[in-house]
Structure 1
Amino acid sequence: MKQQVFADRAYDTKAIRALLDEQEAISVIPSKKNRGEFQAYDRVVCRERQLVECFFNKVKNY
């Protein structure tokens, strides 16, 4: 089974995506708005990652 790498839009670069391809990992990184070509990603998994991230942010602030 391939590993998945979750990241924010800030990590949407050709170099990072090439490194992940070399490592045979699946990138779950939304494309930047100014990117010429749109890169497909799993929206459901990305949304779940964001919910977990928001939860930990709320716990930290509490």
Structure 2
Amino acid sequence: MLVILTDEQILSTQQVCQGCLLANQEGSPRWHHGKLNCGHALRQAANHRLALYECQMGFKVANID
């Protein structure tokens, strides 16, 4: 599950990505084959249960299994 992390809260990608020009046609982050195509990896956990990315708009995106 992809979520957006801020300093004070966790938001759904639906709340943030709907208005992003880099989102896919459904208004979701461009997630493909386990990678965020509209951003870059910041940290990948060894057990792959948590991956942290930064999208091109500057938001922190976490993939939580």
User: Shorter-chain TM-score category?
Assistant: under 0.3
* Structure index of larger Rg: 1
Which protein is richer in strand relative to its size?
Answer: 2
The structure in which a higher percent of residues are helix is: 1
TM-score by length of 1: 0.23
- TM-score, normalising length: structure 2: 0.22
